[in-house]
A = this chain, B = another copy of it.
Amino acid sequence: MTILIKNATVLDLKKFAAVENDILIEGNKISKIGVDIEVNEKENLKIIDGSNKVALPGLINGHTHVAMTLFRGAADDLPLMDWLNNVIWPSESRLTGEDVYWGSLLGIVEMIKSGTTTFCDMYFFMDEVAHAVEQSGIRAILSRGMVAIDPANGEKGLKESVDFIEKWQGKANGRITTALAPHAPYTCPPEFLKDVIWEAKRLNVPINIHISETLDEISIIKERYGTTPVRHLESLGLFEVKTIGAHLVYVDDEEIQILKRYQVGAIHNPQSNMKLASGIAPVAKMLEAGVLVGLGTDGAASNNDLDMIEELRTASYLQKVSSMNPEALNAKTSIAMATSLGARALGLTEVGLLQEGYKADIILLNTNETNFYPRHNIFNLIAYSAKGADVDTVIVDGEVIMEKRQLTRLDEEKIKFEANKRGLKLVAG
């Protein structure tokens, strides 16, 4: 299939320019961006009218537990341990693979409809998540979360992870890649982490891990190892493997240098960190130091949505107020964190920019709503007034998976029905 998007306002996130252009997609790649592109082969050509629309790279949700949409709003405004002990963990203990499948689809629908084309996930029953990704047409880095407080659990998790990686790495035309996901330094002892590092090197996959999310974690690591989470992980050699580190709320200047040196992808999750009262990550500082900072929603149970446009806005505003500097984390950088920079944070090389040769992961924003007027500055409008509902068309890997807000591959009604039924049952017990 060849797709030609005509006369869209195309965002160039390298030069930070917006130019009216056509985009030609051949196979799963962007083959040309330019004015009045002519296509000889008219068969199998799909033309999309891009006028009054902005084309930007699909958004990249760097940290999720996508099936947790099942628990969205089940209990909010609770202290973290009450929430986990009384709601989330009992519900999760009842989870089946089928539940995870439908919960993942619900989250994927929500992400597609708000412009996300790639997400990085850590959860259980990952075969089911992979099936959902395969069917939906979205791109994902998938990893089975491993907790190794009980060594037997760790061993089981690592074995399942390796099986999962061997089964799914590169599948769905490369839309699915995988990672190893030790949950966090406080739930995975050093010996286990060393095994994980060894396997990650052997399998050539990144490590996806929560780091320095709460003050409690900082205390635990200090007590156990006499140091901080980032230093602890560095000393274990974990960062020798490409690492995707979620949260990094509590990091000092020296730790920021460590993250920079190893090119750790630091995934900031502002709404989750705010809602769970975890704290405020020093994102402006990390960016200034040259850390690869991406952006994530975390699970919908602690967000409570998977809307990356809302997330990038919150990221910007939170940095401004926490640093008392209105210039902090500007519109362009916020957009980059959700696209080009977010891709680099995850170690993805061919997504995150609209550029010839890159994978055709493209979204078109409708600019008809009042929040897009006046047209002073398209970057400011996208960062500070656009909405998820403005996303009109979503293309992933050269395939249109949403057009005029209609999903082309998935049965949205059935997914809502199944996920609703299962979510309610899981929480009721």
Contacts and interface: CB of A to CB of B under 8 A. Distances in A.
A427 B421 CA distance: 52
B279 A424 contact: no
A76 B380 contact: yes
B321 A370 contact: no
Interface in A309-325: 310, 314, 316-318, 320-321, 323-325
Contacts of A375: 420, 424
B388 A387 contact: yes
Contacts of A307: 371, 387
A153 to B, nearest CB: 27
Interface stretch (A41-49, A105-113, A191-199): A105-113
A389 interface: yes
Contacts of A412: 370
Interface stretch (A12-20, A77-85, A258-266): A77-85
A381 B276 contact: no
A224 interface: no
Contact of A376 (B310, B325, B424): B424
Contacts of A323: 277
Interface stretch (A24-32, A67-75, A237-245, A336-344): A67-75
A304 B73 contact: no
Contacts of A279: 321, 324
A235 interface: no
Contact of A113 (B113, B271, B370, B388): B370
Q: Residue among A79, A385, A389 with the most chain B CB within 10 A?
A: A385
A321 B215 CA distance: 13
Contacts of A69: 370, 373-374
A420 B369 CA distance: 12
Contacts of A80: 326
B73 A381 contact: yes
A187 interface: no
Contact of A385 (B305, B380, B416, B427): B305
B387 A76 contact: no
Given A113-B370, A305-B371, A385 B277 contact: no
Interface residues of A, number: 73
Given A371-B110, A419-B373, A384 B76 contact: yes
B423 A304 contact: no
A322 to B, nearest CB: 9
Contacts of A321: 273-275, 277-280, 318
A65 to B, nearest CB: 16
A421 B303 CA distance: 38
A204 B397 CA distance: 64
Contacts of A304: 380-381, 384-385
A327 B424 CA distance: 23
A116 to B, nearest CB: 12
Contacts of A8: none
A76 B124 CA distance: 42
A106 B373 contact: yes
A10 B331 CA distance: 39
A304 to B, nearest CB: 4
A300 interface: yes
B371 A331 contact: no
7 contacts: A72-B371, A75-B376, A79-B327, A113-B369, A274-B317, A275-B317, A388-B389
What are the nearest 7 A-B pairs in CB distance?
A: A374-B423, A73-B380, A389-B389, A274-B317, A304-B384, A77-B330, A274-B321
